[in-house]
Structure 1
Amino acid sequence: MNRPSSNWRLFVVTALAGACLLGAASAHAQDLSDYSLEDLLTAESTSVAKRRQRVNDSPAAVTIITQEDILRSGAQSIPDLLRLVPGVEVGQIDSASTAVSVRGFSTRFANNLLVMIDGRSLYVSGLSGVLWDQQLVPLSDIERIEVVRGPGATLWGSNAVNGVINIITKDSIQTQGWQANAFISGDARNATLRYGGSGERLSYRAYVTARDLDGLTKADGQPWSSGSSAIQAGFRLDAVPNDRDTVTLQGDVQHGNFVADLLQTPPRVQQPDYYPFNGNFTGANVLARWSRQWSDQREFSLQAYYDLVRRRELGVDVTRALQDVDASLRLGSDRQELVLGLNYRRTTDSFESSDSFVSFSLPRQTTQWISGFVQEDVWLMPERLRLSIGTKAEYNTISGFALQPSIRLLARPSDAITLWAAASRAVRTPARFEQSVNVDLGMPAGSSMNPLPINMLARVQGQPSLSAERLDAFEIGARGSLGSALTYDIAAYYNRYHNLIGYEATGQSMSYSPAPVMILDYRSANIGWGRTLGLEASLTFSPLPGLRLQGTGSLQDLSFKTKDDTSISHAVAGLSPKFQSGLRASYDIGPDLEVDAWLRHVGALSSSDIPAYDDLDLRINYAVLPRLNLSLIGQNLLTERRIEFAQQLYPSPRSYVSRSVALRVSLDF
């Protein structure tokens, strides 16, 4: 199998495995008996109001994935962790790409979802999405992941349409000393080595992490040519020069290689089904943040970062350089609170094609974003009824000016019940890929994508005059507790989309030189509108000390209407499951032994003919020594293999995720 070079993995995995035999070190993960169900409601989120706020005080559908959730899930990537959240859709395409979305619109590049790490946007505007295989932050360094299901554009701006995912890493004072982690299974290997230290009013950490993945398989279990390997190193420095100020400086560098397969091929390639291609990526970022807090109700924050992403895929070299400066001010009293913010962002991206089947009418472009927001929270009845109202005013050089307002109401009829409702507007700016790309996708006769006896060529052309997509969203929800052993969280929503961008047919023709080919012409366009209805719920029950049960479920209905019969319907409607559910059980058998089980169901994807599936993950963790933990993890145990996602517009063959058993070793010393 043609695989990217990964000699470094042998050194890293061997070194960490050896380190784990050297000695004994810190207390093992917090057990369930130390974690009350009330913590689920009092845990703090910053993504809904751009300030620390208890989940129970948030007038939005928000879920927090804690460090305990991360450890006990057995997951080894951020997309796998997001499967824990109701309303989040995750489908692995191949070893180098994953589709992640919230409340529908599932594609490889989910263009309605804003994802951040410590306030640094991962959204690549040229592609309108996130490159998930390049997100290599060590899971052990994550304090929590805040997932807001629903619009967040009033605070975070364009493209925070269907949701916001904010990955927040630990303060370096929480990661002192050495830590080594290694994960080894039949198809994946990853390892992390970290060191943290501190001085007077100063703490720091540095890490290196490496990952190596085999490719997914065909339906018969035979491997594709795909696979990937990557390495990342980074640091974080936190300083507290006085009682009012905090300063953070952090950064990362990365490099990776991957091999993937094309199902559709350029016209000159005449093999019937697929061919492998090599790709690679590099990245670097640096972020600085200063905060000053005069009191519990007065705070100022200034953040700036630079983020560089380079990637070669499908014969195209993509470069994105982003500079961002953000300032926010919070002023409050016992009855009300005002949050103000200003942001400037400059993005330069380029697409250079070395292959004739992909080209760009505008290979290089610089875009600028200027925005300000204001949000005010007012307690109409102290501790019982609160109104939040605000708007984002934004100008960008892609689609012009937009206002993105929201109004939210929170009511607490009793200490055990919280009700909330919200109405919001959000926009998504067109990607430059949609505006300027020219793609010729060849589909040889008799291939998986073209069963006809004649070769076909689909020509897709971008359009620079696209309007921004717009969402009007309406939400209601309830959360609270029933006694000391049961908590619940329910949200319902109605979303209405305008100016949806898709592809419309413009004609067809025949070419007979050098061989007969049917040519189908398409162009990007604002093809119509859509609406979604949905319901999401989670229930947590702790009947015994050391035992926790958590059930989640989501139900949604999506429909899209195009302008005329010549338009291609928004095919992503059938790329989202109508129903998902999950049940997690965590039990502390003793002070040194933990058992976790995670059963889940994912509905069918109708437009790709992908069946529903049920699956089970198991984890057994044993604290061999106070600082040495061994975990045996079984993933995807109910089926030998399953397919999770396939999308016609992205030329990847149907690939299957296999059952696996893994060993995880964690040592603090």
Structure 2
Amino acid sequence: MRWRSVLWPPAQARVRRFALEQGGDMKGLIPAVGLGLLCAVAGAAQEPKPSPSPSPQKEQEQIVKREETVVVTASKTETTLVNAPATLSVVTSTEIISSPAQNYGDLLRSVPGLNVIQLSARDVQMTSRQSTNTLVNSQLVLLDGRSIYLDFFGLVLWDFVPTNTSDIKQIEVVRGPASAIWGANALTGVVNIITRSPREAAGALGTNLTLTGGVIDRDASPVGQSLGTGGSYGASFSTNQAPNDRWSYRVAGGFYHSDALPRPVGRVPPDHHPLDPSEPVGGGIFPPFTNSPTNQPKLDLRVDQEAGGGGRLTYSAGIAGTKGIVHTGIGPFDLRFDSEKKSYMGYGKVGYVNGAFKLNAFANLVDAEAPNLLSTDLQGVPILLRFKTQTYDLEAGHSVVLGGKHILSYGGNARRNIFDISIAPNAKDRTELGAYFQDEVFFNQFRFVVGGRVDKFGNLKDPVFSPRITAMYKPLASHSIRLSFNRAFRAPSTINNYLDVTIKAPGADFPLGAVCQLAPPLCASNPGLARQVLPLGPRAIGSEVARGISPSLPELQEESLNAYEAAYTGTFAGRTTVGLAFYVNDSNNNINFVGTPSVIASVGLPGLFTAKNPPPGWPFPASLVDLPALRAAVFNRVPATYAYLNLGPLRQKGFEASLDHRFTDSVSGFANYSWQDDPKPLDADPGQLRYPIPELSVPPHHRFNAGVNLSTKRFLGSASVNHVSRAFWNDVLASLGYDGFTDAFTMINGSFGVRWADGKVTTTVKATNIANDNIRQHVFGDVIKRSIVGEVRFQF
């Protein structure tokens, strides 16, 4: 009976959905039940024996080859890709094992519509269907349904994922907004990492030990540093055991290290903004700072208890730490993991599932510290980011079939966040409540999805409603044409509301002797002033701090997104899947960290230092700040304030095409192309700030990915190419000249492995950027060079 419990959970709910999706009503229920019984009998007949029969993991992989991939992220209920109400991509366990990727960025880079960048040895960011900047906070990331983003800002530290890749069943990527089901932060999309249950992975080869080691080329001349050859190494271990029919468990852990990557050198080439030729950009000299390697330890535990009536209780806990660079709008921070301070995320989770009913409770506990390597306060002390957060979440959901033509899904959650953040000393704790409802209606070849979610956040006056409407036409069972509308939102984060830190601008030391030369009597009583300098820099503030300066400034509103999409998904002969999608995303009340002085001044905040707003510590009469000579040389160039503001509507549109083909049961291939138009500011409402061109980054217009995967009893491997066109960035200290372009690049990656001893030992060589090009994926990011890694995997 083990096969049945692995392949058909929850059996009753899946059979009923299968009947509706095949026939549009319950007439197909009898053959569906017959199919389920046949599979159960076949599974019972193939219980493991002393002879070399397939392990449950191999059995499942064989079934996946014969059936459509089942996904859950699109609507929190199981469905197939062709029937999903949203555009969705899946990375399978076979692709993960053969991939040469050493991080989640490289692993997901080939997903159409997903903009992935790597900025340092540990810093990976990704966003669907818009430009990806530092500290992405619009992409929801889940691990088995548990959110892993950091609630104080909404960003994801991917090295806080405590799971080993060998335990991942699949990764589902929703390429579009999903707030109607998942709530806030699912503004541009969702990444859901789904692991195998311990019982699913247990068997003759349920224990896995993986050792890796490799070299990194770090000669990035002439555009970057020329360092000695670097290295990376790691180890991971997991064991999945099912000692009886009631209990199963997994113990997993690992460690990964990578040396620092080379930094770019020289000057950001002076140029002009791609959307406004009159707007100069660039010119900043890349600052020297000591780049940091990364260390990433992790430990994860899970215990499953089979309960009566077909239910299952799951208990899990884990911890993951990290060291290394995380890039931000005010420069790089270096997350600490040493003898004095360790940056980590721990969690505990209890879940219950019975059929379509799910109940989960979890806690995320984060404690981290990171000094800034570039920005200091006005006294020259590096800005120190300390953050301790506690997140507690309770969620319930259910799905039922009603009247033979409806699948109703409903649920909700309550969430409590407790914050302690050094750069937001007045941050307030927050309570979040949400509830969703969705109805999938079946009319033979037509089906409709209508649903919505209501969320109430402690920092928003009114509840937020996120609707979803999808109309789908299925001319054949394996083909669907879909029109959809979604509205999603992102609530202001605690940093958006309460950030308060003054930053010394690099190189912005004002020589007070310049005033002494213009007006010698002012320094006569204190000659030492002529030899002193006054550090200058902006005060970076959140919306609530800004409202204390300018009371007429309205409260920061939630950022919203209206998404319109037309899509097609079709499978031919059970081997070839084609996907097409055209989308228009209209965002409004965009929450942006604004540094353009004219925009700052327009809302009543000090955009520049003036006689009315002299710089802190100015020892002379304030009127001298407005002297033309000083303004031209200094004070028209150094901003006085950075602030989080709501900006007007912005339109993003694009097109995606994908082709996946299975040549044989052992060889598959893929190719996809994504086109994205320039972002276009739309007319603002009365009293609303129009989105200023200088605040816009421009994503690459063209991205192309292609590859093949091989997995036989003896060999495994992959080969892929990723091409990304030119892009423009302005999200890191743009006012100081660090806004600019990255060149188009092409990455060629590959791996090849051999299985030994009946699959118990696998040796693999993996390489990324085989051509060893100097690749920068962000104007302020590290230079990516060739990496070659050897891997030995033991299964027993």
TM-score, normalization: structure 2?
0.71
1:497 equivalent in structure 2: 587
Query: Aligned runs of 1:383-398 on 2, under 5 Å?
Result: 384-398=445-459
Does residue 637 of structure 1 match 2:770?
Answer: yes
Displacement of 1:486 in angstroms is: 2.4
The one-letter code matched in structure 1 to 2:165 is: L
Query: Aligned runs of 1:186-225 on 2, under 5 Å?
Result: 186=215, 187-200=231-244, 201-219=246-264, 224-225=290-291
1:258 equivalent in structure 2: 324
**How has the CA–CA distance of structure 1 residues 572 and 49 changed in structure 2, closer, same or farther, with 3 Å as cutoff?**
farther
2:649 partner SS: strand
The one-letter code matched in structure 2 to 1:505 is: I
Aligned partner of 1:655 among 782, 788, 794: 782
> Contact 1:105/1:573 (CA < 8 Å) preserved in 2?
no
**How has the CA–CA distance of structure 1 residues 242 and 322 changed in structure 2, closer, same or farther, with 3 Å as cutoff?**
same
Displacement of 1:301 in angstroms is: 1.3
Does residue 226 of structure 1 match 2:292?
Answer: yes
Structure 2: where are the runs of 5+ without partners?
Answer: 1-51, 216-230, 267-287, 372-383, 510-532, 545-554, 602-606, 621-629, 730-739
Does residue 55 of structure 1 match 2:81?
Answer: yes
Displacement of 1:396 in angstroms is: 1.2
> Contact 1:475/1:493 (CA < 8 Å) preserved in 2?
yes
1:468 equivalent in structure 2: 558
1:509 equivalent in structure 2: 609
Rg (Cα) greater in structure: 2
Could you list the per-position Cα deviations for residues 611-660 of structure 1 after superposition, in whole angstroms to 9, with x for gaps in the alignment?
110010110111122210000111111234311124xxxxxx54111101
Displacement of 1:230 in angstroms is: 2.1
Rounded Cα–Cα distance in structure 2 between residues aligned with 1:426 and 1:56: 23
**How has the CA–CA distance of structure 1 residues 625 and 573 changed in structure 2, closer, same or farther, with 3 Å as cutoff?**
farther
1:434 partner SS: helix
1:303 partner SS: strand
1:426 equivalent in structure 2: 488
Query: Aligned runs of 1:545-560 on 2, under 5 Å?
Result: 546-557=666-677, 558-560=679-681
Rounded Cα–Cα distance in structure 1 between residues aligned with 2:714 and 2:666: 12
The one-letter code matched in structure 2 to 1:659 is: R
Rounded Cα–Cα distance in structure 2 between residues aligned with 1:662 and 1:28: 29
The one-letter code matched in structure 2 to 1:232 is: K
> Contact 1:377/1:386 (CA < 8 Å) preserved in 2?
yes
The one-letter code matched in structure 1 to 2:600 is: A
Rounded Cα–Cα distance in structure 2 between residues aligned with 1:255 and 1:275: 16
Rounded Cα–Cα distance in structure 1 between residues aligned with 2:722 and 2:298: 31
> Contact 1:434/1:462 (CA < 8 Å) preserved in 2?
yes
Does residue 569 of structure 1 match 2:692?
Answer: yes
Rounded Cα–Cα distance in structure 1 between residues aligned with 2:658 and 2:750: 20
**How has the CA–CA distance of structure 1 residues 35 and 571 changed in structure 2, closer, same or farther, with 3 Å as cutoff?**
farther
Aligned partner of 1:291 among 336, 353, 358: 353
Rounded Cα–Cα distance in structure 1 between residues aligned with 2:61 and 2:198: 26
The one-letter code matched in structure 1 to 2:258 is: L
Rounded Cα–Cα distance in structure 1 between residues aligned with 2:329 and 2:360: 43
Could you list the per-position Cα deviations for residues 513-572 of structure 1 after superposition, in whole angstroms to 9, with x for gaps in the alignment?
589864412322112110111111210234456432210111112223586999773767
Aligned partner of 1:106 among 132, 143, 159: 132
Does residue 129 of structure 1 match 2:143?
Answer: no
Structure 1: where are the runs of 5+ without partners?
Answer: 1-23, 266-273, 294-298, 353-358, 448-452, 647-652
The one-letter code matched in structure 2 to 1:250 is: S
The one-letter code matched in structure 1 to 2:387 is: V
Does residue 348 of structure 1 match 2:418?
Answer: yes
Rounded Cα–Cα distance in structure 2 between residues aligned with 1:180 and 1:119: 26
The one-letter code matched in structure 2 to 1:636 is: N
1:178 equivalent in structure 2: 207
**How has the CA–CA distance of structure 1 residues 561 and 505 changed in structure 2, closer, same or farther, with 3 Å as cutoff?**
farther
The one-letter code matched in structure 2 to 1:348 is: I
1:482 equivalent in structure 2: 572
> Contact 1:205/1:236 (CA < 8 Å) preserved in 2?
yes
2:112 partner SS: coil
> Contact 1:616/1:635 (CA < 8 Å) preserved in 2?
yes
2:549 equivalent in structure 1: none
The one-letter code matched in structure 1 to 2:389 is: R
The one-letter code matched in structure 1 to 2:250 is: R
Give the number of the structure whose residues are more often helix, by fraction: 2
1:435 partner SS: helix
2:709 equivalent in structure 1: 586
Displacement of 1:416 in angstroms is: 3.7
Displacement of 1:255 in angstroms is: 2.9
Displacement of 1:33 in angstroms is: 11
Bigger Cα displacement from structure 2, 514-523 vs 208-217: 514-523
> Contact 1:99/1:645 (CA < 8 Å) preserved in 2?
no
Displacement of 1:238 in angstroms is: 1.3
The one-letter code matched in structure 2 to 1:133 is: D
> Contact 2:591/2:644 (CA < 8 Å) preserved in 1?
yes
Does residue 335 of structure 1 match 2:372?
Answer: no
Rounded Cα–Cα distance in structure 2 between residues aligned with 1:308 and 1:43: 34
1:656 partner SS: coil
> Contact 2:123/2:325 (CA < 8 Å) preserved in 1?
no
Could you list the per-position Cα deviations for residues 93-129 of structure 1 after superposition, in whole angstroms to 9, with x for gaps in the alignment?
1124222111114122222211111111112232122
2:543 partner SS: coil
Aligned partner of 1:525 among 630, 645, 648: 645
2:284 equivalent in structure 1: none
> Contact 2:232/2:258 (CA < 8 Å) preserved in 1?
yes
> Contact 2:336/2:368 (CA < 8 Å) preserved in 1?
no
Does residue 307 of structure 1 match 2:367?
Answer: no
Displacement of 1:32 in angstroms is: 13
Rounded Cα–Cα distance in structure 1 between residues aligned with 2:747 and 2:671: 15
Rounded Cα–Cα distance in structure 2 between residues aligned with 1:572 and 1:35: 50
Rounded Cα–Cα distance in structure 2 between residues aligned with 1:183 and 1:212: 10
Displacement of 1:361 in angstroms is: 5.1
TM-score, normalization: structure 1?
0.84
> Contact 1:505/1:567 (CA < 8 Å) preserved in 2?
no
Rounded Cα–Cα distance in structure 2 between residues aligned with 1:32 and 1:373: 32
Bigger Cα displacement from structure 2, 221-230 vs 151-160: 221-230
Displacement of 1:53 in angstroms is: 0.7
The Cα RMSD (Å) is 3.2
The one-letter code matched in structure 2 to 1:619 is: S
Aligned partner of 1:628 among 758, 761, 784: 761
> Contact 1:339/1:375 (CA < 8 Å) preserved in 2?
yes
Displacement of 1:223 in angstroms is: 10
Rounded Cα–Cα distance in structure 1 between residues aligned with 2:691 and 2:564: 27
Aligned partner of 1:323 among 362, 387, 392: 392
What is the aligned length? 610
1:269 equivalent in structure 2: none
Displacement of 1:51 in angstroms is: 1.0
Rounded Cα–Cα distance in structure 1 between residues aligned with 2:61 and 2:242: 31
Rounded Cα–Cα distance in structure 1 between residues aligned with 2:587 and 2:690: 17
Rounded Cα–Cα distance in structure 2 between residues aligned with 1:107 and 1:262: 9
Larger RCO, structure (CA 8 Å, separation 6 or more): 1
